[in-house]
């Protein structure tokens, strides 16, 4: 079960007219700050406020008539939940989402707003995969994984298809592309697209401190978890280990993986507010955070970054603006 560039192209056909072709925008202020030409892909403007709608819709659109009856089950801290919930609504499928009891309120409310049934689990004591599997069996529902699925990976890869096409129409050749890595669904899909369309582009994943399992896995040459860590500001990126499908793709394509601290992420969120005028959630801001923190030398180069999501509680956003985070 491998995923190919053709799968990404096929996902793009499924998503045509369903997902938003988010723009590729430029900020002269950011260019000046970094001494580079920056191309910003704001998946914050995607349906549900995150790229996750792409993979979820692609996956759900492939269900057989028999599978459609039982609907879908997913577990997620929030963005995948919203993506699956909206895709299920658009495709008229029953949908159960299993969320941690401490998920951001904005993600919980949006998931319910799309008509999904929500059950909670305790992040500390429950096994969410077992809960999802049990709920799936009980309802005859298909469990939709957050990243380790060929259709999910291919759907997220359409972000890369769009970046490559939009950069071409700007006459830009992308030297580097950076995006967040949780389980690796986004960056493995983007790797397939860029590998085919822009093979000279260096690809970097960015992880939050304490959840650098992908960096550790790439160093080790095999899938590894990170040692248990306290929570990260980046609730969307707290995955324990790269996926079975995503890891080999990341291993074959990524030039490197960078790590950012909560403080660097908060600074990037403030920069996005004050200068880019975009709302970005913590996990969505890691690529920007890595560059603002000077983790790569960009002088004279062209770099693309993915701002992957914007679902952040207003209370937390205000604390970040106030510099309390």
Catalytic residues: 52, 308
- Three-state SS for 304? strand
Instruction: Output the six-digit token pair for 201.
Output: 């582009």
Taking Cα atoms as reference points, which of 252, 247, 237 lies closest to residue 290? 237
Instruction: CB nearer to a second copy: give 113 or 225.
Output: 113
Min separation Cβ 49 and a second copy, Å: 5
Nearer to a second copy, 140 or 314 (CB): 314
> In the complex, what is the shortest distance from the CB of residue 226 to a second copy, in angstroms, rounded to a whole number?
29
Q: In whole angstroms, how large is the CA radius of gyration of the chain? A: 18
Residues that bind a second copy (CB under 8 A): 20, 23, 25-29, 42, 44-45, 47, 49, 106, 270, 273-280, 310, 314-315, 317-318, 321-322
Closer residue to a second copy, CB minimum distance, 44 or 201:
44
Question: What torsion, rounded to 10 degrees, do the Cα atoms 171, 250, 16, 83 define?
Answer: -130
Q: Which of 192, 203, 205 is nearest to 11 (CA)?
A: 192
Instruction: Using the minimum distance from each CB to a second copy, give the nearer residue, 226 or 307.
Output: 307
CB of 36 to a second copy, least distance (A): 17
Least Å distance, CB 224 to a second copy, is 34
What is the per-residue burial (b if ≥16 Cβ within 10 Å, else e) of 145-172? bbbbbbbbbbbbbbbbbbbbebbeeeee
């Amino acid at each position: 079960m491998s995923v190919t560039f053709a799968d990404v192209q096929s996902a793009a056909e499924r998503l045509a007219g369903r997902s938003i072709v988010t723009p590729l925008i430029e900020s002269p202020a950011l260019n000046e700050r970094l001494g580079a030409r920056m191309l910003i892909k704001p998946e914050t403007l995607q349906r549900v406020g995150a790229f996750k709608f792409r993979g979820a819709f692609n996956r759900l659109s492939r269900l057989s008539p028999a599978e459609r009856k039982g609907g879908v089950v997913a577990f997620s801290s929030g963005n995948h939940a919203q993506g699956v919930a909206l895709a299920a609504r658009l495709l008229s499928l029953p949908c159960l989402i299993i969320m941690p009891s401490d998920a951001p309120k904005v993600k919980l409310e949006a998931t319910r707003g799309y008509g999904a049934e929500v059950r909670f689990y305790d992040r500390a004591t429950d096994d969410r995969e077992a809960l999802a599997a049990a709920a799936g069996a009980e309802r005859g529902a298909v469990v939709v994984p957050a990243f380790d699925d060929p259709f999910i990976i291919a759907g997220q890869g359409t972000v890369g298809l769009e970046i490559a096409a939009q950069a071409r129409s700007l006459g830009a050749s992308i030297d580097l592309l950076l995006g967040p890595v949780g389980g690796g669904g986004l960056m493995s899909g983007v790797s397939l697209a860029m590998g085919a369309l822009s093979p000279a582009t260096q690809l970097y994943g960015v992880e939050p401190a304490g959840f650098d399992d992908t960096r550790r896995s790439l160093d080790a040459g095999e899938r590894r978890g990170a040692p248990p860590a306290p929570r990260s500001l980046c609730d969307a990126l707290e995955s324990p280990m790269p996926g079975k499908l995503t890891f080999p793709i990341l291993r074959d394509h990524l030039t490197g993986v960078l790590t950012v601290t909560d403080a660097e992420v908060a600074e990037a969120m403030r920069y996005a507010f004050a200068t880019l005028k975009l709302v970005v959630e913590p996990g969505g801001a890691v690529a920007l955070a890595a560059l603002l923190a000077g983790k790569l030398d960009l002088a004279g180069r062209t770099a693309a970054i993915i701002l992957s999501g914007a679902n952040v509680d207003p209370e937390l956003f205000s604390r970040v603006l106030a510099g309390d985070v």
